[in-house]
Amino acid sequence: MQHWADLLLEQIRQTTGLEWVAVIFGIAEVLLARKNNVLLYPAGIAGSAISIFLFIEAGLFADASLNGYYVLMSLYGWIIWSRRKNEPPVQIAHANGREWLITALIAFVGWGVIYFILKNYTSSTVPVSDAWVSSSAWAGTWLLARRRIENWVVLNISNLFAIPLLFYKHLPLFALLTLFLFVIAILGYYDWRKLYREQIIKSSNLLA
Q: How many domains does the chain have?
A: 1
Query: What is the torsion angle, in degrees rounded to the nearest 10, for the CA atoms of residue 7, residue 11, residue 14 and residue 19?
Result: 180
In the prediction, which pLDDT does 161 show?
92
Lowest mean pLDDT among 2-16, 110-124, 136-150: 2-16
Q: Which of 132, 93, 99 is nearest to 114 (CA)?
A: 132
- What average pLDDT score do residues 43-62 get? 80
pLDDT 10s digits, 164-190: 887 777 667 777 888 988 999 999 999
Assess if residue 130 is contained within a domain: yes
pLDDT 10s digits, 76-121: 888 888 765 455 566 889 999 999 999 999 999 999 998 998 889 8
What span, in angstroms and rounded, lies between the C-alpha atoms of 193 and 88?
20
- Output the average pLDDT for the chain: 84
Assess if residue 88 is contained within a domain: no
Assess if residue 72 is contained within a domain: yes
- Domain residues for 149? 2-83+94-207
Q: Apex CA 55: angle with CA 76 and CA 63, to 5°? A: 55
What span, in angstroms and rounded, lies between the C-alpha atoms of 128 and 114?
9
Assess if residue 24 is contained within a domain: yes
Assess if residue 52 is contained within a domain: yes
pLDDT 10s digits, 190-201: 999 998 998 888
Percent of residues, the chain, with pLDDT higher than 70: 84
